[in-house]
Chain A
Amino acid sequence: MTFKGISIACSFTTFGLYAVLILSLFYFFRTETLWDALFSERTLFSIRLSVVAATISTFLSVLIAVPSAFALSRYDFAGKKAVDTILELPMIVSPAALGAMLLIFFNNPLGLWIQDHGVQFVFTFYGIVLAQFVTVCGVSTRLIKAAMDEIPVRYEAVARTLGASPGKAFLTITLPLSRRGIVAASILSWAKALGEFGATITIAGSMAMKTETLPIAIFMRLASAEIEGTVVLILILVSIGLSILYIVRILSRGDSYA
């Protein structure tokens, strides 16, 4: 077999692995269960909770990620390497550990003070948003930075010689040029937040009709041996995820500034 053949075979092996996992869901799929599970109050609550929490956490993380990514992409500053490295924390620490770190934080004096005088995070909706935010903030910063790295610095330099202040150059040049990257990063972050499980269950728990997000609902149904219901929820999650990836792929096409 040629090298080309081997490499193509490897790519199909990966595809096959995931395809088999998805197809195997249909072994337990029942149409009648689909409608029952899909339109049950509990499922609809989980979907709504997951969508709302993921939207808020994504919005907050992109709000922080855009200026952070610009700073990391354009400026040299003390501590830049430390900031850049810690962005990977959610990727190297397991989600459960990340959730545990949050829980431990809210049990130290500062965390307790925040809970007493500010917002209650533990076992609440805010805890879900916080867990998702912590999980996706580093990722969205990394993705947006990659989009900004693609834009030549000369555009901003020229904009400044034409009278734009650094802020105006950012708003009129860098931001519009990285728009696709920011949108793609937002969608990916949203998808990741939607599927977040480990950190969420650790800090917010798994209370039905209160903190039961879609991934937690899957876990709970599986724990109570409701396989057919589990399959429906997984299919919902997979459908949303694959649709998102397809949209991101379309958005990522085209722009080249070299």
Chain B
Amino acid sequence: MLEVVDLSARAGGFVLGKVSLTVQPSSCHVILGPTGSGKTLLLESVIGLRKPQEGKVILEGNEITGLPIERRGLSYVPQDLALFPHMTVRENILYPVRMRGGTQDIENGIVRELVDSLGIRHLLDRSVRNLSGGERQRTALARAMASGCTYLVLDEPLSALHESLKKELWYLLKDLQRRYDLAVLMVTHDLEEAFFLGDTVSVVLEGRVRRQGTKEDVYEHPASVEVARFLGIRNLFHVEKEGGTGDSPLVYCQDLRTTLKLSPHAGKWNPTSTSSFAVGIRSENVAILMPGELTSETHNVIEGTIEDTYASGALVTLMATGRGSSTSVEAALPRSMARRFALAKGHRVLLHLPEESLFVIDPDSREDLS
């Protein structure tokens, strides 16, 4: 297990606040954040490229904070991969073996095993200068794995690749992680990549970890306005406590002019500390109902008018406004469904905000929606 405990670091005027996180064996922890949020600074402090101001890095129970880089037991793949340009693919892959005094048998075994796993046998004698983007990624991964470390630290290694190749490498990384029991600490700004590869996720914004948890938890319950916005959630609404029980709290949403029923698992539900807070819902969780689908058991339904529709790939996003409300609700539907319902600007629709999909913004986060 790799543990980072209260680690803080500084680079020029930028300060990375105290960060704690854990990477379990055979799992992937993703540090997710926009450019300039401090992700790389955190990673460089963990592998020893930068001296942290305070805090500890602990690997399998041993503190490695003060150890030289080469004795930390962490393999690193930087954003630009840093393949050694004066060496062939084979020499790059065997570099860590040779630095650690590996024998010819070990070298042969590593080449046999890793290059086949990564599908780069045919590239072994090529100069790394002549490799394509995907081949470079595979070589960099093979080299990092050849070091024998089971802890990999990856700094946005796929950011320069086009979409299809990137997705191909996501599957490869997952496969390698499972097959070789790798623990991965990875940085990315790509939401899809983070939630595909990560088992656990830390969202870092402006040098602070703003949300941490399993990927499902972070994805479904961003817990703060900033994190929700960073995750692309635009459906954030002011609500006030109205009543109901702890198992089925009711809130009045001024923005949508309707009462909403929340799930008891919607988030940190603490109606005694404040009566006014915010809730949110991901656009893909907003459902469009046909009038016949409404029952007395269906809550959180808003009758609205489509203000606009936007088609993007497989999804159609529509913006709809409820009666008497000026706040739009964003709903993302599969293109086939949008076609079936013949959804278009000006159409009236029933928007359903399922209670189990609504999440509560932590009242203590004290963030304003405006």
Q: Taking beta carbons and an 8 Å cutoff, which residues of A are in contact with B?
A: 152, 154-155, 157-166, 168, 172-173, 176-177, 257
Contact = CB atoms under 8 A, between A and B. Distances in A.
Given A159-B99, A161-B69, A165-B70, A177 B143 contact: no
Interface in B47-78: 47, 49, 68-70, 72, 74-78
Given A152-B80, A159-B84, 18 more contacts: A157-B47, A157-B69, A158-B76, A158-B78, A159-B99, A160-B70, A161-B69, A161-B75, A161-B147, A162-B70, A162-B96, A162-B99, A162-B143, A163-B100, A164-B99, A172-B99, A173-B84, A177-B84
B82 A152 contact: yes
B86 interface: yes
Given A152-B82, A162-B147, A164-B70, A157 B49 contact: yes
A157 B76 contact: yes
Interface of B: 47, 49, 68-70, 72, 74-78, 80, 82, 84-86, 95-96, 99-100, 143-144, 147, 153
Nearest to B85: A257
B80 A154 contact: yes
A158 B95 CA distance: 11
Contacts of B95: 159, 162, 164, 172
Given A177-B85, A257-B85, A161 B70 contact: yes
A176 B84 CA distance: 10
A140 B320 CA distance: 70
Given A161-B47, A164-B70, A154 B75 contact: no
Contacts of A173: 84
Contacts of B147: 161-163
Contacts of B80: 152, 154
Contacts of A166: 68
Q: Which 5 A-B pairs have the closest CB atoms?
A: A163-B99, A162-B96, A161-B76, A160-B69, A158-B82
Contacts, number: 60
14 contacts: A154-B82, A155-B82, A155-B84, A157-B47, A157-B82, A161-B47, A161-B147, A162-B75, A162-B95, A162-B143, A163-B96, A163-B147, A177-B85, A257-B85
Nearest to B44: A157
Contacts of B96: 162-163
A108 B66 CA distance: 48
Nearest to A165: B70
A165 B100 CA distance: 10
Contacts of A165: 68, 70
A158 B96 CA distance: 10
A152 B96 CA distance: 19
A146 B47 CA distance: 28
Given A161-B47, A176-B86, A154 B99 contact: no
A173 B74 CA distance: 19
Contact of B86 (A158, A160, A161, A177): A177
A158 B82 CA distance: 7
A161 B185 CA distance: 14
Nearest to A168: B99
Contacts of A157: 47, 49, 69, 76, 78, 82
A159 B86 CA distance: 13
A156 B85 CA distance: 12
Nearest to B91: A172
A161 B74 contact: yes
A160 B82 contact: no
Contacts of B99: 159, 162-164, 168, 172
A155 B83 CA distance: 7
A177 B82 CA distance: 13
Contact of A160 (B68, B77, B85, B144): B68
Contacts of A177: 84-86
A38 B191 CA distance: 75
A131 B47 CA distance: 47
Nearest to A162: B96
B122 to A, nearest CB: 23
A154 B95 CA distance: 15
A160 B85 CA distance: 16
Contacts of A161: 47, 69-70, 72, 74-76, 147, 153
